[in-house]
Every structure is written in structure tokens, then in C-alpha cells.
Structure 1
Amino acid sequence: MKRFLISNVFGALAVMVAHGAPSFELAAKATNEVGVDLYRQLATGAENLCISPYSIDSALAMTFAGADGETRAEMARVLHFPDDGDVPASFSALQRSLEQMSAKTAELVKQSKKFGGPSVPITLNIANRLFAQKGYHFRETFLSLIKQNFGGAFEPIDFVADPAAATQRINKWVTDQTRDRIRDLIPGGALDKTTRLVLANALYLKAPWVNEFSQNATQPESFFVRGAPVDVPMMRKNAKDFAYARREGFTVVSVPYAGDELQFVILLPDDVNGLRGLESKLSDDMLAGCAKIEKRDVDLHLPKFKLEPPTITLAKQFEALGMKTAFDQPKGSANFDKIAPRTPNDYLYISQI
């Protein structure tokens, strides 16, 4: 048997897409649902958590395109993909929509000198790549599908001869795609002579606010961490383009990015010890509703923060959600025959996400 690795990386906070053209609703809804499922699996301690559901789901959607039999059925259930949906086409439409949104802000910047508006555009880079063993018998139909729908370039690489050099090459690609934000994503020893394919997705996002927070208005204020007040640098702004709503047990605020099509959605529990209760309410429908609240005049106090999350492996979490045969559990059950012809002694399975 041979193994392959799914690598997903991100350079900014996750983007929740909750509305838009029907063609990408499948991908957007599935991404939010997987994000909630993973959040429940991972948010078990007291540490900060940052994940990119879009990056994760995009990489797994590429893998799903090559799955067959029970492996495909399990992945469909866990990833919330419908049986009758065109998954690759929907992710392709979602990627195009995000890239078009970024391009629109570049046009707004050009016009800002005349009419006012953002001075810096949204920078968004979504990249997919297949690092594949030289000479291995991958199916041309799979490679063409990934290229057409995900823009995934095919790069032959030799894991058999030099897995360490292959690791360095993939890590360099990740570093380049994320503007040096992520280095050494794949640790030494993670790839070996049995590796045949690494499916990589990299997402880089740098987005300015519609209205920037003034540095002069940032002052120390109390913020509750694990129920206790802590003095933190608190950004302040009063604006009419914030969206605001009260819900049962929590408050929702949405802060728009340049172009007003992308938003940073904040959920704040009413009780200082109410985070667990709020987490229990998370769902795709709840997030979609929070992304559609009305704009109001809001006096916002937002802690200035920076997240530098470690690399998280997700194989155990996806197995716990029910995606077992993809990881060859039990042995001999993985079926990715649509990626490469499967034989009893030579077949692909996922080694890690």
C-alpha cells in the first residue's frame, strides 16, 4: 500500500461565506458545517483556537474527487457533500467568487483618490498543488478534474529517492504562497519512501477594514479571560457600517472589510462565563444568520489581538467524525481508485491531514 498526505495551510482568519449564487452554495454550506464539526472536536481546552475550514474542505474536496465505494460514501457524510451535487464545480465557483471579490477591491482603490474609499485592496491568494511521485500511475481523468476545478498544478517529485528533499520543496512552496507566514509546515520524517502524493492547499488573506481603527483611540480597558478581567489594548470606533444584533444569550457584531463583501463576524456571550454555552449553539444555520444582520450605528470596543496558532493535525478528528476507511481503517479498506488504479498490494490511503 502507498500513502498520501493532505496539507492545508492558512495565513489569516477563516472566511465564512453564508450567501451568494446557487452554484457555490453547496461548497459554502459544507465548509461551514465542517468548520463547526471540527470546532467541537478541537475546542476542548482553555487555549485559543484558529482553524481555516475553507482551506481544509478545499483540500478534502480534491481528495473526495478521487474516492470510490465506501470511502467515498463516508467522506460524503462527514464532509456534508450531497450525493447529487457537483462538488468540484461548486468549489470552483466559490474560489472564483472569492477571487473576484478581491479583484473588485483593487478597482475600488484605483477610484478612491477621486471618490474616497479604501487605500489598500484585499490581498487574497488561493493555491492548490499536487506533489506526486514521479512515474506513479495516476489517472489522467483525476489530474484533469483537479486542474480544471481547483487550479491544482501537477508537480512530479521523487519521494522514493529523497523524501527529505521532497519535504523541503513542498515547505518552500507553502512559504512562498503564504508570503513567508508559514514555514516548515511538514516536519522532518512526515514523508517517507512510501509517500506517493501530497495534496496541498494554501490560503493567504490580508484584508483592510472599510474604516480603519485609529491607533490614537486604542486605550487599555478590561477584557474578561476565563472569567477574570485583564487589561488589554482596546480598539474603539463608532461607525454606521457595523452590523449588530442581539440573540438569546449572546451579541453579534459584524465588521466589514474593504469592498463590503467580506466581513469579520464576532459572537460575544452575554455572561462572562458563557463561552461554552455559546459554543453549544454553533451551527451552519446560526452562522449564516449571523452573517446577514442589519447595519446599525455601533460604538465598538474590540481587543487588539494576534493569533499565531501551531500546526494542527486532523486525522484523529476526521476518524472520530466517521471518516475511517480513507485512513485505511481497517487495513485494506481505503479506496481511492479514481486517483490511481487500486490493487490489493498497491493502493492509496490518507496518512495525515
Structure 2
Amino acid sequence: MDPGQVAAVAAGTSAFGLDLLHALTATPDGAGRNVVVSPAGLASVLGMLLPGARGATAEELAKALHTGLDPRQYALAVGAPDGGSRAGGDQVVLRRSDDLWTQQGLAVAPEYLDTLAAAFDTGVRPVDFAKDPAGARRSINAAVEKATEGRIKELFGPRQITADTRLALTDALYLKAAWASGFKPANTSERPFHRLDGSTPSVSTMSRTGALRYAEGSGGIVGEPWQAVELPYAGGGLAMDLIVPAQGGYTAFSKGLDQAQLDRILGGLDERSVDLTLPRFHFDTANDLVPALRSLGVKAAFDAPDFTGITGITAKEPLGLGAVVQKATVEVNEDGTVAAAGSGAGVAAMAAPAAPESVQLHIDRPFLFLIRDTADGRPLFLGQVTDPQAS
């Protein structure tokens, strides 16, 4: 893979992640809850789907993913980083696995399978959605649970895999990483934490002082003051970045944060001596991502889908995107971080389009008219008729 394409896809995935986070926190209920998403996980699932999409379906998916690459090149780039896994002894473990689950006997286009094999090292795992959707769902969920060390259970719910499902695409991501320099448990204490609603509970808070990459600023696109710090994991290849708006400024800052601003914040990190406190946290998030994707402009995949690149244009059943789900978990403590995510998309057989009903048009009222060049669309004449008898 061209390193430039891999870097471009990484930046696009980051922008996609910000879009996703904004969509999930756009409501008052969403804005006030903890949220963790895996942009890389969902980008992988949609990256597996994209080579099979055509027309507006492909265009909308590509736009949401912030990519202008050919679908095959995008798949190769999104599947390229770390080869799906990274290990550093007991210090850092990063594993990713991608699977394509298909209805037994479904004919899948060889070109589509070749792309998935080259990009994601993914073969076909046949199940019988039509006759045993519950059994198929159990198999898929069990594979994701195993790949995430038991952290992600029941990725797909009972109504998300049905007898109409023909394919399911899944990504499982698991990370266990120790800090390069950990927090001493003896320094952990109860400290106040200021919630958005104004309440101030005491929470278990870690503490350390030392050299870390740090930045601060205000103004710019977001306009709110902020501080940022980077906590590296062992081995130097991974890090956690924390961005902290000033008290009272979180809502405005988070809504205004875009990829350009994020790039400026991370680009400004420089080594400083930092007296840092950080609450311990551990929570899970489960999201039905269909509404979020729709808000990002992915509509044709659900409403007027064209996935003929998966099964070919002569397939008996048209396919459409159904469920898109993600479950994620993150735990941060004195030793480091354990995080996992399962992402999935179900592709179902769509009902054949109904024959159009006959219509009636009696022009018995004022009307507009247009005379145009159909080759280039130029309007030659445009007018209205309010009285046919008038001269």
C-alpha cells in the first residue's frame, strides 16, 4: 500500500469518528452520557461493504468515510495498519479480526471476495440465516466475544439478524496496553469531579508528575480554552490523548471540534513537566448506528440500495443495508488501558420493487411549462399558463 493513502485513510477515519461522536451526542440525552466509539472498527466494516456498493450507495458511504479513493484501494488502506494485530509481550496487545458471514449457497462475486481477502484477510463463513437466524446470530456473537476476550457480548440483538439477512460483516478490536510510565496506586485518592449538570461527586482519581507531551490554547475554530496531554503506552507505538476544555466550556468546545482543530491540538503537543490527575474510568457503550449514519448522509444504502458488486447484477434478490451496530468498552486505571469494540453490519434481502400504480393527470388549473435542451439541460423557454383562452 502507498503510505500516503494509508495516512489519508487514517485522517479520514479520524474525521469520520468526530462526525460519529457529534451525531451520537447531538441530543440532550446523548450529550450528557459517557460515549466510546471505535471509528477504526466501523470504518473497517463499512470498508468491507464499500467495494460491493454502486452508484449513490457507494458515493454516500465514501463521503461519510471522508475518502476519495477507489473502493478497493480504500479497503486495502483501511485494512493495512498494523496488519490487524500488534503485540509487545505482556505490555501491549492489539488484535483486530474481520469476518464475512454469508447465507449458505449465496453466490458472492469473486472480485468482491478477492478484495476482502487481500485487504482484511477475510474468507467466507457460511451460516443459515434463512432457516436458523437465531443460530447464525449466536455464531456471529460468539466469534466477536471470543476475539475481544469476552469484553463484547451480544453484538447483534435478536431483531438485528433475521431470516431475511443474507450477509453480516463484523470487526472485532481488542487492546490491552500498559502505560510507558504508570500511575502509582498509592497516589490515587478521592477528588471532586464537576459534572455537566453542576453536581460534584468524589471520584477515584490517579495522580502523577513527570515529562509528558502537553499543549494548551484557546481561540481558533472552537474558541474555548483547552489543555491537552498525551500518555504514551509501552513500546511507543500507541498513546492516549486527553483534551480538556476549561470549566464550563465543554459543550461549546465539543460541538465545535473538527478534524482541522484536532490536528492543530495534537500538532502542538510538546514535552513539558506535567502535574497530572486523571479519574479512573470504566464504562460500556452500545449503539444502533443507523440513525447516526443517516444523519451523516448515508441514506441510499438503506432506502434505495445498490450492492450489486457483492452478488452481481443478475442476483435474484436485491440487497440492502439493515442493522449497523457497535458495542465498545474502555477501562483506564493505574496500569494502563483495556478497550474492546465489536462492529457489525447486516445486509438483508430487500422486497422486490412493486409495479408502479397508474396515475391520472387532468390539467384543469394553472400550470408551468418548460422547454429545454435535453442533451445539456438548458432551459430554452419557461413560463406559466393561467388562462388557456387568453391571447
Q: What TM-score do the two structures reach when normalised by structure 2? A: 0.76
Tell me which of 215, 226, 235 is aligned to 2:206: 235
Matched position secondary structure for 1:224: coil
- Counterpart in the other structure of 2:290: 315
Residue 133 (structure 2) pairs with residue 133 (structure 1): no
Q: How does 1:61-100 map to 2 (within 5 A)?
A: 61-83=47-69, 86-96=73-83, 99=85
Percent sequence identity is: 29
Q: 1:59 touches 1:200 (CA, 8 Å); kept in 2?
A: yes
Q: Distance in 2 between matches of 1:75 and 1:188?
A: 26
Structure 1 position 154, deviation (Å) = 1.2
Q: Does 1:267 align with 2:243?
A: yes
1:289 to 2:260 alignment: no
Deviation at 1:23, TM superposition (A): 3.7
Deviates more, 1:22-31 or 1:53-62: 22-31
Partner Cα separation in structure 1 for residue 146 and residue 192 of structure 2 = 39
State the alpha-carbon separation in 1 of the partners of residues 124 and 106 from structure 2: 12
1:344/1:180 Cα in 2 relative to 1: closer, same or farther (>3 Å)? closer
Deviation at 1:184, TM superposition (A): 1.4
Residue deviations 1:147-175, cap 9 Å, x none?
Answer: 11112231011111211110111111011
Deviation digits for residues 50-76 of structure 1 (CA, Å, limit 9, x no counterpart): 111110111101101111112111111
Aligned to 2:181: 211
Kindly indicate whether structure 1 or structure 2 has the higher relative contact order, using CA contacts under 8 Å at least 6 residues apart.
1
Is 1:37 aligned to 2:32, yes or no? no
Q: Which runs of 5 or more residues in structure 1 are unaligned?
A: 1-19, 107-119
Q: Cα offset for 1:40?
A: 1.0
Please tell me whether the aligned partners of residues 44 and 79 of structure 2 are also in contact (alpha carbons under 8 angstroms).
no
Q: Deviations over 1:45-104 (max 9, x none)?
A: 3111111111011110110111111211111112111145821221132242x73xx33x
Distance 1:84 1:190, change over 3 A: closer
* 1:27 Cα deviation from its structure 2 partner: 1.7
Distance in 2 separating the partners of 1:136 and 1:158: 10
Aligned-residue Cα RMSD (Å) equals 1.8
Code of the residue aligned with 1:234 in structure 2: it is T
Q: Which whole-Å CA distance do the structure 2 matches of 1:344 and 1:156 have between them?
A: 18
Instruction: Note the C-alpha offset of 1:22.
Output: 2.0
Instruction: State the structure with more CA Rg.
Output: 2
Q: How many residues were matched structurally?
A: 310
Residue 117 of structure 2: SS of its match in structure 1?
helix
- 1:281 offset after TM fit, Å? 2.8
**Amino acid of the residue matched to residue 25 of structure 1?**
A
Contact 1:164 1:189 in 2 (8 A): no
Would the alpha carbon gap of residues 84 and 346 (structure 1) be closer, same or farther in structure 2, given more than 3 Å must change? closer
Cα contact 1:335–1:342 (8 A) shared by 2 = no
CA gap 1:33/1:122 in 2 versus in 1, 3 angstroms: same
Distance 2:201 2:39 in 1: 30
Q: Which of the numbers 129, 133, 136 marks the counterpart of 1:166? A: 136
Q: Which has the higher strand share?
A: 2
Take 2:147 and 2:189, find their aligned partners in 1: how far apart are those partners? 35
- Partner of 2:328 in structure 1? none
The one of 226, 233, 246 aligned to 1:250: 226
Which residue in the other structure is 1:10 paired with?
Answer: none
Alpha-carbon distance in 2 for matches of 1:325, 1:265: 35
Q: Which one has the bigger helix percentage?
A: 1
Q: Which amino acid aligns with 2:23?
A: Q
Counterpart-to-counterpart distance in 1, 2:315 and 2:101 = 24
Whether contact under 8 Å (2:9, 2:74) holds in the other structure is: yes
Letter in 1 for 2:275: D
**In the alignment, which of 126, 144, 164 is matched to residue 194 of structure 1?**
164
State the Cα distance separating 1:206 from its structure 2 match. 0.9
Do the aligned partners of residues 252 and 268 (structure 1) sit closer, same or farther apart at CA in structure 2, a change above 3 Å counting? same
Contact kept in structure 1, 2:43 and 2:78, CA below 8 Å: no
Question: Aligned partner of 2:180: which letter?
Answer: V
Tell me, which stretches of 5 or more residues in structure 2 are unaligned? 219-224, 325-391
How far is 1:344 from its partner? Answer: 8.6
Q: 2:356 — aligned with what?
A: none
